[in-house]
Amino acid sequence: MPEKIRAMVCDDSVVIRRLVADVLAADPEIEVVGTAVNGKNALDKIPLLKPDILTLDVEMPIMDGLQTLIEVRKTYKKLPIIMFSTLTARGAGATLDALERGASDYVCKPANVGSLSESMEAVRSQLIPKIKSLTGRAPIAPVARAARPAFGAPPPGAPGAPGRPGAAAAGAAGPLKAATLGNRVDVVAIGVSTGGPDALTTVITALPANFPVPIVVTQHMPPVFTQLFAQRLNAKAKVEVREAAAGDPLKPGVVLIAPGDWHMRFKQAANGPVVVLDQGPQENYCRPAVDPMFRSITEMFSSHVLSVIMTGMGSDGHRGAEQIIRAGGSLIVQDEATSVVWGMPGAAVQAGLPCDVLPLGKLAEVITSRASAARSGSAPRRTP
């Protein structure tokens, strides 16, 4: 048996400290090696306890989570750190600050739950998968390869499912082929999760102000966080970035980010495709989820979609990307070396989807080249 994951919990609330420690200790793969009541206490204990991962409360007296993170990163540059945040504007802002300064991920403290057992389950469902992914203990789940007839079938009731419009095209069997490199790109659709805020910032801020097509993004994030993240990204980027609202048109050079707790889809309006938001069932344990966005954007733009799957745990996006490829569109995935967690990109690769695997630093350049090439008459080059 592999050694247990050594976890350390830092929170000034004795109730939360005990709740998190009990949830983690109940997992047979995790050992809680210690707790800390504030950041200063944590800094003193880390060299003694040598944790594999640290959970860090955002708001604490004496030394808060952000100050602690900055100090920890001076010595422990690769220690995975998960911020524990409140689902408020203040908590979201502090958490985004922490992600910019090197936090690995975050979870939200349970809110509006009726019992201790519900609180524990809320923490367990969020925290344990992230701990295992960030410490390399969560292998990519087996993914059906594209050659299997059942692969690519959307969930029942989804666009493209049997009995819904587009079913024949979306569920078509047969081998997948890479899109023709000179194929015109009319929209870029990006799916991302763990590590996404920092990775998206790297990509979006590198795009030119005259980026020629719309960009739609699903980042796994809760409400409040997506709005603040979009506002921050807009302040840094040359293109316009905002949280999507129902009825928003898709415009060149505008980045629309799915709002927390809402799937983002699209419909045809008089002047072109517009955003539709819904709170349908979670997909891949997520809402917003990448797959419904990918399916819907394919219905609007057919073969002219460039899809991008970036860092993130789980496998959300690979089934929707398969439909994009079947329609004649293309896929780029972030490589393992530059991903915080190579779950979502790795699932697409493991499924055998034709795609280009690129490091984070090359994504903006290649996305811009592909989106601009057919309009300028130049031929984009396939990055090896």
pLDDT digits (tens, 9 = 90+) for 182-211: 689 999 999 999 999 999 999 999 999 999
- Whether the per-residue pLDDT at 331 is higher than 60: the answer is yes
pLDDT digits (tens, 9 = 90+) for 284-309: 999 999 999 999 999 999 999 999 99
Residue-wise pLDDT tens digits, 56-115? 999 898 999 999 999 999 999 999 999 998 877 888 899 999 999 999 999 988 776 567
pLDDT over threshold 80, residue 163: no
Of 33, 60, 305, 291, the closest CA to residue 183 belongs to 305
User: CB of 191 within 8 A of CB of 317?
Assistant: yes
Q: What is the pLDDT of residue 9?
A: 97
Least confident residue range of 34-38, 151-155, 301-305, 354-358: 151-155
Q: Taking 60 as the threshold, does the pLDDT of residue 160 lie above it?
A: no
Contacts of 103 (CB under 8 A, 6+ apart): 56, 69, 81, 82, 83, 95
Closest residue by Cα to residue 189 from 4, 61, 321: 321
Reply yes or no on whether the pLDDT at 51 is more than 50. Answer: yes
**The pLDDT of residue 343 is above 90:** yes
Give the mean model confidence (pLDDT) for residues 45-55. 97
What's the whole-number mean pLDDT along residues 358-383?
Answer: 79
Distances in whole angstroms, Cα of residue 341 to Cα of each of 105, 160, 251, 312, 356: 10, 30, 31, 5, 18
3-class SS of residue 285:
coil
Query: In this predicted structure, what is the pLDDT of residue 376?
Result: 52
| Joined tokens for residue 382 | 């396939």
Task: Classify residue 36 by burial, with Cβ atoms within 10 Å: 0-12, 13-18, 19+.
Answer: buried
Q: In what order do the strands lie in the sheet with 240-243?
A: 240-243, 254-257, 215-219, 187-192, 305-309, 330-334, 356-358
Given its phi and psi angles, is residue 107 left (phi above 0), alpha (psi -120 to 50 degrees) or beta? beta
Q: Please compute the mean of the pLDDT values over residues 377-381 and round it to a whole number.
A: 46
pLDDT over threshold 60, residue 150: no
Which has more confidence, 137 or 8? 8
**Average pLDDT over all residues of the chain:** 87
pLDDT at residue 253 is higher than 50: yes
Task: Provide the Cα torsion 214, 218, 224, 225; round to 10°.
Answer: -100
Asked if the model's pLDDT at residue 259 lies above 50, the reply is yes
Mean pLDDT value of segment 227-237: 97
Q: What is the pLDDT of residue 113?
A: 58
Q: Is the model's pLDDT at 177 over the cut of 90?
A: no
Residue with tokens 């057992």: 117
Q: Which two tokens stand for residue 293?
A: 């966005």
| β strands within the chain, DSSP E | 5-10, 30-36, 53-57, 81-85, 105-108, 187-192, 215-219, 240-243, 254-257, 263-269, 272-278, 305-309, 330-334, 356-358
Report the sign of the C-alpha dihedral through residues 317, 320, 323, 328, in that order: negative
Please check the confidence at residue 168 and state whether its pLDDT lies above 90: no
Catalytic residue set = 193, 220, 316
Burial 177-215 (b: 16+ CB within 10 A, else e): eebeeebebbbbbbbbbbbbbbbbbebbeebeeebbbbb
pLDDT interval class at 5 (50, 70, 90): very high
